[in-house]
Structure formats: structure tokens, C-alpha cells
Structure 1
């Protein structure tokens, strides 16, 4: 139970550092890359911030777009008490899956029953545009299939069963509320979709062939979220996941090298075709594009989250 002791020390420190009204919170929010502004949905007069560096057991994210702080406050007209992870830990930073998901179990011990997980993701679906939102209905977990799983090792029965089901990982009622919230605050439902999210370990973006493979089964791809969802479900939390589609995933190979070689030799090459125009060839995924899209869509995401929290509160 050594790992459980770490969770308890984290909780003890947090409870000693926050007002009484936040010592039991029902809502947790994890802010994805470029989505730290979601914390601005908190009533400023109620906001309490704790640096990850001060919380026992917490790591500090080194990724641009992740501020590394835990923020408590009241959200929406319902004044719902919530806790926000402004920045997450990533497997590609060298953290174990257990370290990446430690805050989720700490949230559980703080009383969280519903977890909203957000991320920035690359779009694989031909009809989904940059800046659209995707409500996650299921996931594909490549690191987990390869053995890098957050529940690997000794099971902590105090949280959940040894073999938890994941076929219902993303709560249907919460997904429905997400669409209703979006419509209510003026987000076009043409810009909101429901789809499958695939997690890869990163930190490199996918090759064109990897992207083609993933596209057979998923609508978006990213480097986070799934371990947190699995641990949240293991703990009995209800989960809603929302991806902000920040870039189009590259699935083409560009110019045909053999065609170019034949042309340079003056040999026939008409039977060979390039996949894309030469002007498109330099388009590659990059982190700056992810941050820019997050900033551009921030206001819509904030309004959606506030309305969603109020709708959840009404349902309880």
C-alpha cells in the first residue's frame, strides 16, 4: 500500500491548504494543451491555486501550454465547487503511467464524482475541421495494448476491481449534455462531433503510415487522456472527454521519389503520380499550431464548460 500512502499525503496537504468549502468537491476538470484558460470559468473571488511543485507526489509538466497548478473554485450560476488540473503529466515526459494518473486518484479521495477531461488532438476524419470539438465516445489505447497500462501491477481494491470494464468509459448522458450545452451557448452543432480518440505515446507526431492505420479505427489522435479516463473509471467516476481538433493529421506521402528520379534522367514517368501537390508537401504537424488553435477557441470552450457544469448540477 506504499502507493496509497502517496495519495494520502497529497490529499492531506491539499486539504490543509484550501478553505472548508472545497474539502469535498464533486467535479474535476483536466485542462489539455492550450486549454488552461478553462480555469477562467472559475469565480475569481473563490479561486485557490496550489502549485504542483508544492503538492507531495505531484510532478511538474515541462510542456509549453501546461501551467502545472491545481485550482479550486466555484463554477457557473450553480456555484458548483470544482478542482482544475491546469496542466497534466505526460508519459512522453518520462513519467510512468501511475505518475500520470496520480492526480485522478487524489481527486477521487477529495470527493470528485464526475471528471471532465479535455485535450488538443489531431483530426483524422475528413469532415472534421480545425477548431471543431469532438465529444469522445470511445478510445483506442496503443500504449496500453503494448503493456504500458496505468492499472498494471498490484491492484488497489480500495479504488476498484482488478478487471474494470471500459466499454462504457465515456458516460452517454454526459455526452448528451455536452451537445446541449454547446447549442445553448451558441456553438454550432455542425462544429461539434462525436468520435473515437486514439492515444499514442509520443512525443513525435505520427508518420503518414501510422496515421493511415489509426484512421481505420479512430477520428482523432493525441498523446494523453486515456490513462486518466481508465483510472477515473476504475475509481467509479463518471467521465466526459472533449477533444479540440487543433490540426489535420498528415496521411499523405508527398512527392513520388521514383517519379522525380525518372524525370531527372529524362525517362518516362507519366505512369507514376504524386499523392499531393508540391505546394502541400511542406505541411507537417507542429506544437505551435496546437497552441494557436487552443487560444482561438478558448472563449467557446469556456462558455461550454460553464453551461455544462450548470446542466450537470441540475441533473443531480
Structure 2
């Protein structure tokens, strides 16, 4: 062991060499990669933190919303449905994740056909680097604000060759491919206040609301554009190849998209009633089974799989469907 006599007996050169070696060892240590243990997002958004977010929204708006709406960027015009809106930027909410949107993102609280509602202008997306816990967080906040029923929508690519651009597909069930790849919004420690951890996703989509929306569509005269089918959640942002599309079709998928499912899971876990639909913006590569004039309208060249513009009447049909469904729930036959 080194002692004071050892150091005294060293020459000045030996001492400088020893000091240089110590510096080299410290430099080598600083260049080594640090051990990083990822923290589950659910630790950042524990129940008390989420509850504080909800209390802030209620304190600003003085409204306890009963219905929630998340429609994404494409159908963001649905925000125009909200009467007497109070806009709350996400940046103002304590501990709410920062938005990646250029113009920011926000909640809108107000009324639609007399129904108190909280809507979100955009949504968190997994392929943009957001965790699935971030994607599910707005639903948990809405639930603690008082929401009992949530309406979800997004754009989707058709897998069913008979679907056309602008068709509205009501989701009656889903296949969570992202979840099968070991990605979940329910990671972290168990907190029963969020709901049961181990639960079946059977019956996640409310059958009564699904049937009522079909009746409303017939009353509005938009039943020809309305479908009901199975939604497949993929990682994105790329759509599938022809081979992948054939695989999804063989599994019973009618349309595929890159969002919505984490929100459905959080809603189902919290006991909310869920009504969800997608609007088709990308055609299937396969030819329609029925070679008629209507099918030809939706057929696009296989090389062109870009998102296409949906005619405004189709978007307006989505608005009307949501407004009438909210009226039915809140005024006609409360659910």
C-alpha cells in the first residue's frame, strides 16, 4: 500500500507520470456509456398527478364534462361543434407532457347539443416518439374530469377492398398489433384507482352506441357511406405493403391505422363507454370484389398509396353523426 514514505522516495518525473495516468483513467471512465435504467411513464403520471391535471381543468372551466372527444388532426374541424368553448393549452396544465405540434395543442371544454364535453385538438402518436402512456394520458385526465362516455376517431387505410375513400367505418373490435410487440400503455406499478390491470378487452366498444349510430346514419341519409368492421393498429408512420395488407385481410382486419387503441385501452380500463370510428383516406391495393361503378370510384392505382383528400360532405357527415349521437345520449335516452 502507498504511504507517505513511498511518495517521498518517488522522483518528480515518476510523480508526474502517476498524475498523468490518473487523468487518463478519469478520461477513459468519462467516455464509457452510462448505465441508464428507463423509468416507466406511469411513474411520471401517477394517479395524484393526473388528478391534479383534471382539477386544474375543472377549476378553469367550472364545467364537469360528461362526454369526451378525441378526433386527431384530420378531423380537427370537429372542434367547431363545441359551443361556448373554453380553450386550455396543454402547456398550462401542471405536468402535462409538452406538445410537439408547431401551434401547440389544447383541450376545448364546452357543450354540444347541450351535452357537456371535453375535446382534444390533436393526439399523441407513438411513431412521433411519444410513449404509449402519453397516448393514454388524455383519456385518464378526461375520466377524472367526469367523463363517462368517450368518442374516438382517426384516419385509416383500407384493407377491405370494398371500402372507398371517405367511407366511415364504425369499429366493432380491434387487433392491437403494437401491443403484440411488447408495447403497452399500462406499464409500471399497479394503482387500482386507474382500474383493473388484468382485464379482457372483450366488449370494449359499446354495442348500444354502435347500433344507435347506424340508426342515426339512416335518418341522416349517410348509411351508404357507413361501414362497421375490425380495426388493426400498426406502429406507423408507414402503411403496409401489399403482402402485409393481404396478411391483415386474412386475419379479418378491414382498416388499419396508427393510433386510437391506447386510448381505447385506457377508457376500457377506467370503465368508460367507447364509441369509435375511422374515416378511410387511403384505398386498399386489392381490387373490389364487386366490380361495379361505385367500386370503381374508390379504386386507385397501386403505386399511389398516399393519403387522399376526403370530400367535405364526408367530413360533415362525421360531424353530424357525432352531434346527433351526443344529443341522443344526453337528451333523448341518457346512457
Alignment TM class, shorter chain as reference: 0.7 to 0.9
1:208 aligned partner: 242
Question: Quick one: which of 311, 314, 319 aligns to 1:297?
Answer: 314
2:305 aligned partner: 284
1:169 aligned partner: 204
Aligned CA-pair RMSD: 2.1
Report if the CA contact (8 A) 1:67-1:86 is conserved. Answer: no
Q: Please identify, of 204-213 and 227-236, the stretch whose mean Cα deviation from structure 2 is larger.
A: 204-213
2:185 aligned partner: 150
Report if the CA contact (8 A) 1:61-1:87 is conserved. Answer: no
Q: TM-score, normalised by structure 1?
A: 0.82
Report if the CA contact (8 A) 2:283-2:305 is conserved. Answer: no
In the TM superposition, residue 13 of structure 1 has moved relative to its aligned partner by: 2.1
1:266 aligned partner: none
Question: Quick one: which of 9, 18, 30 aligns to 2:70?
Answer: 30
In the TM superposition, residue 144 of structure 1 has moved relative to its aligned partner by: 0.5
CA shift digits 1:145-198 (9 cap, x unpaired): 1110111332220121121121101010010111122222231x1211110000
Report if the CA contact (8 A) 1:40-1:302 is conserved. Answer: no
Distance 1:63 1:185, change over 3 A: farther
The equivalences for 1:1-316 within 5 A come to 3-18=46-61, 20=62, 22=63, 24-43=64-83, 46-62=84-100, 68-76=105-113, 79-187=114-222, 189-216=223-250, 217-250=252-285, 280-286=301-307, 289=308, 292-293=309-310, 295=312, 297-313=314-330, 314-316=332-334
CA distance in 2, matches of 1:74, 1:183: 25
| Structure 1 residue ranges without an equivalent (≥5) | 253-278
| Structure 2 residue ranges without an equivalent (≥5) | 1-42, 288-299
CA distance in 1, matches of 2:48, 2:329: 32
CA distance in 2, matches of 1:281, 1:178: 33
In the TM superposition, residue 295 of structure 1 has moved relative to its aligned partner by: 4.7
CA shift digits 1:240-273 (9 cap, x unpaired): 1111111113359xxxxxxxxxxxxxxxxxxxxx
Distance 1:132 1:223, change over 3 A: same
Report if the CA contact (8 A) 1:135-1:175 is conserved. Answer: yes
CA distance in 2, matches of 1:7, 1:294: 38
Report if the CA contact (8 A) 1:200-1:222 is conserved. Answer: yes
Q: Please identify, of 297-306 and 89-98, the stretch whose mean Cα deviation from structure 2 is larger.
A: 297-306
Q: TM-score, normalised by structure 2?
A: 0.78
SS at match of 1:280: coil
- Counting matched residue pairs gives 277
In the TM superposition, residue 61 of structure 1 has moved relative to its aligned partner by: 4.8
In the TM superposition, residue 281 of structure 1 has moved relative to its aligned partner by: 5.0
Which of the two has higher C-alpha Rg? 2
In the TM superposition, residue 220 of structure 1 has moved relative to its aligned partner by: 0.2
